[in-house]
Structure 1
């Protein structure tokens, strides 16, 4: 699978990450996610954002607490007799700090395994750069998640 924004990601990965840069990137990822799911604190269960001509984007609420939300965000591709999630991200969203922590990210486009130079910071940088570009891609395609009652009000109200 090839994403159209992969060349932009590769350029960003050539730069040297800093802790401040990583925090800025985590804040940007939070802002992008809030564009996809502005009422994230009110969402429950599994949701799908459907856009004509694009894969459905799936969001699963794994945990809701007063200050954090843990989610799974993915696409599902037909694979054999089943389906394969790619990218497949588990994210913890800190609403008070307006940050996102990547708990797990599996994807087949960029290597995000450990590297000899700056293993911890560099890997977090790579993962968050990928997440940033993917979230931007989803926002640009018009994906959006809304609480079910809001959707029903718009459709039938």
Structure 2
């Protein structure tokens, strides 16, 4: 009888995703970001509207920040709006998804099969999705500003 091989997480890939996600988030979040502010920007390309992204600071500590990211008002009714809670570790320059949609806590490794049908590498997949989503935001994001109040 062959023993079932246990999944071993790819720590270097998870670390690389954390480094990249931190750099992407720092580009999207203004320096004067505090717990009373919410950053919003539209996603569009030319006349095509893809939705709006909102980033809210939930908690600010000496070495970490916790932010909530969500996409609202997307252009397709069939799309699920991503919602993630992300912790930024400023001392090491990394970011990781700590909750996603309805999942309050993301395990580093999941037994498979499990009752929620999470993949063994769910944490890496969700952080990879965050990387793709943030790249998309950096490529198609536009600041929302009210030009009538600027004069």
TM-score relative to the length of structure 2:
0.66
Q: Which residue of 2 aligns with 1:23?
A: 15
Higher relative contact order (CA 8 A, sep 6+): 1
Distance 1:33 1:98 in 2: 11
Report whether the alignment pairs 1:92 with 2:92. no
Distance 1:104 1:97 in 2: 20
Which ranges of 4 or more aligned residues in structure 1 deviate by more than 3 Å?
40-44, 112-115
Going by fraction, where is helix more abundant, 1 or 2? 1
Structure 1 gap ranges (5+): 1-15, 79-83, 146-150
Structure 2 gap ranges (5+): 1-7
Distance 2:33 2:68 in 1: 14
Deviation, 1:46, is: 2.2
Report whether the alignment pairs 1:45 with 2:41. no
**Residue pair 1:37, 1:144 contacting (<8 A) in 2 also:** no
TM-score relative to the length of structure 1:
0.63
Distance 1:94 1:144 in 2: 25
Report whether the alignment pairs 1:123 with 2:122. yes
Aligned residues: 125
Distance 2:111 2:73 in 1: 29
* RMSD of aligned residue pairs (Cα, Å): 3.6
